[in-house]
Homo-oligomer: A and B are copies of this chain.
Amino acid sequence: MSQQVEPIQRMTDELAKLPGIGRKSAQRLAYHLAAQSQEQVNALARALSQGRESIRLCERCGNYTAADLCAVCSDPKRREDLLCVVRDPRDVAAMERMHDYHGLYHVLHGILSPMDGIGPQDIRIRELMERLQDGQVKELILATNPDIEGEATASYIARLVKPLGVRVTRIAHGVPVGSDLEYTDEVTLSKAMEGRREL
């Protein structure tokens, strides 16, 4: 028996496809599930399958929702003149955890990456331009990640949007709060110096 029992193997194979779960953790999870009741395992399977089924993209911003509009877009208290562009729905969740931003979002569902063959037509840039047509948005905040693709995508969008007369801003890069200067990489430090402000 150098092989695992077939059903355990099958569970392990599928679980190991998840990000951050290696073969060893996947096997551990499979054995754990084998020791659970059928009902418990079914509850998990159902939550995943039905959960995925009921997730839709918000018609307006592309965020995940179970209705036509997401919770942000359907909230009348949000400012309609502020629009924050993010890469994917989990970035919306991160921004919302801050409880400090009261505008709307636009989710790109991807990032420009010529190396991976992802161009402007593959992410929701056309939808963004359409949203900006009515002139309601006064400021567009580009909150893509501070990496090569994120910067390139931000520059690309900035170039497209500026002619519309919309104010285009980029989130600040710098030393994270609570971190240690000594352990901050040089690129971040140089960005922090570059973005310094008068007190």
Contacts and interface: CB of A to CB of B under 8 A. Distances in A.
Contact of A8 (B41, B42, B45, B51): B51
Given A14-B47, A48-B11, A1 B96 contact: yes
Nearest to A25: B20
Interface of A: 1-8, 10-11, 13-15, 17-21, 25, 27-36, 38, 41-55, 63-66, 70-72, 75, 88-90, 93, 96, 99
A2 B96 CA distance: 6
Contacts of A50: 7, 10
B47 A13 contact: yes
A41 to B, nearest CB: 4
Nearest 10 pairs of A and B residues by beta carbon: A1-B71, A45-B45, A14-B47, A7-B51, A45-B49, A41-B52, A11-B51, A31-B90, A7-B54, A5-B64
A21 B13 CA distance: 18
A43 B65 contact: no
Contact of A49 (B42, B55, B90, B93): B42
Contacts of A28: 19-20, 90
A18 B10 contact: no
A10 B51 contact: yes
Contact of A29 (B19, B53, B71): B19
A38 B48 CA distance: 10
Most B C-beta atoms less than 10 A away, residue of A25, A27, A30: A30
Contacts of A66: 5-7
A8 to B, nearest CB: 6
A6 B27 CA distance: 29
